[in-house]
Chains A and B, each alone.
Chain A
Amino acid sequence: MIETNFAAIDWVIVAVYLAGSLGMGLLAMRYIGRLRDFLVAGRQVRLGLLIATMTGTEIGLVTLMYAAQEGFSRGLSAFHIGLIELVCYGFVGLTGFLIFRLRREGVMTIPEFYEKRYNRPVRVVGAIILTLGGILNFGMFLRAGAQFVGGVTGTVSVETINLIMTVLLVLVLAYTILGGMVSVVITDFIQFVVLSVGLLVATYFSLKAVGGWGQLVETGLSARGEGFLNPLAHEEYGFSYAFWMVLVTVSSATMWMPSVMRCLSAHNPRTAKNVYVWSSISFMTRRVLPAVWGACALVFILGVPQLREVFLEVPEDQRKQAVLAMPIFLGHVVPTGLLGLLVAGMLAGFMSTHDSYLLAFSGVITQDIVSPLRGGRLSDRGRITLTRVLIFVIGVFLLIWGLWFELKGTLWDYMALTGTVYFAGALPVLVGGLYWRRASSTGAMLALLAGLVALAPIFSVSLNEHKRTIALLAFAMAAVLMVVFSLLFPDRPKAEDEN
Chain B
Amino acid sequence: MKARTARRIAQVFFFTLFLFFVVITDLRYLKGYPVSWFLELDPLVAFATAITTHTIYMGLLWSLLLILPTLLFGRVFCNWICPYGILHHFTGWLLGKRRAEERERIESNRYKKLYSLKYVILIAMIAAAICGSLQIGWLDPICLFHRSMTVAILPILNMFFPSSFYVRQYFHVGAWIVGFLLLFLVGMNVVIPRFFCRVLCPLGAFLGTLAPVALWRIDRDPHKCVDCDLCLKSCEGASDPHTQLRKSECFVCFNCIEDCPEDAISFKFMPQLQREITAPVVPARRAFLGTLVGLTFYAFGRASGASDRNYDKKVIRPPGSVEEKDFLDRCIKCDQCLRVCPTNVLQPALMESGLEGIWTPILNMKIGYCELNCTLCGQVCPTGAIQRISIEEKTGTGTFVKEGPIRLGTAFFDHGRCLPWSMETPCVVCEEVCPVSPKAIYSREVTFTKRDGNPITLRQPYVDPALCIGCGICEHECPVTDEAAIRVTAVGETRSRDRRLLMDGGVTSAPRTLENQKR
Do they bind each other? Answer: no
